[in-house]
Amino acid sequence: FLIPCFHSAINYENNEANKIKNQLTGEWGGVPDVARHYKSKGLQWVAVGDENYGEGSSREHAALEPRHLGGRAIIVRSFARIHETNLKKQGMLPLTFADPKDYDKIQPTDRISLLGLKDLAPGKPVQCEVKHTDGKIDKVTLNHSLNSQQIEWFKAGSALNRMKEVAKH
């Protein structure tokens, strides 16, 4: 599922801040409320953003909240450096479009599938399928900057979870 904006981001579909359409109910709601609804249904979601995503959001909480609410990945044209690092620590997958023009292929009602995450490796692009409401599917290539340790954080759900796993062994 796609969470197309966060609290202060202006939603592409309705030109409002913190109002997104719940893809399950068709109702408009606040970003945290819709994310909580998806999480209660066991659904993971991704957010899609534009340039310099996370600028002004250097606090770890800005990366912790999406993960806590069931988010798995943030897909953007580019990240603010500190925010990208914080997303990695929180077990989120920060992805950038290999072709920045692919951002324009994604609509707020699309369903996004990230393929091959079990084989996630440093320097290896992630393939994405974007399924539109008309049934058309676009393929998009996404890049990441995770190293091996950060991939372990992602698989464990966060750096802290990974430290806990290692301490058990």
Instruction: Please give the full DSSP string across 13-68, using - where no structure is assigned.
Output: TTS-BT-EE-TTT--EE-HHHHHHHHHHTT--EEEE--TTBTTT--STHHHHHHHH
Average pLDDT, the chain: 90
Contact in structure between 86 and 62 (CB atoms under 8 Å): yes
pLDDT in tens, 100-118: 999 999 988 899 999 999 9
Give the 3-state secondary structure of residue 98. coil
pTM of the model: 0.90
- 49-73 mean pLDDT: 85
pLDDT in tens, 10-23: 777 888 888 888 99
Largest CA distance in the chain: 50
With bands split at pLDDT 50, 70 and 90, how would you rate the model's confidence at 3? very low
Indicate the residue type of 31.
V
Which residue ranges form the domains of the chain, and what is each CATH number? 2-168 (3.20.19.10)
- The CB density around residue 50, as the number of other CB atoms within 10 Å, is 12
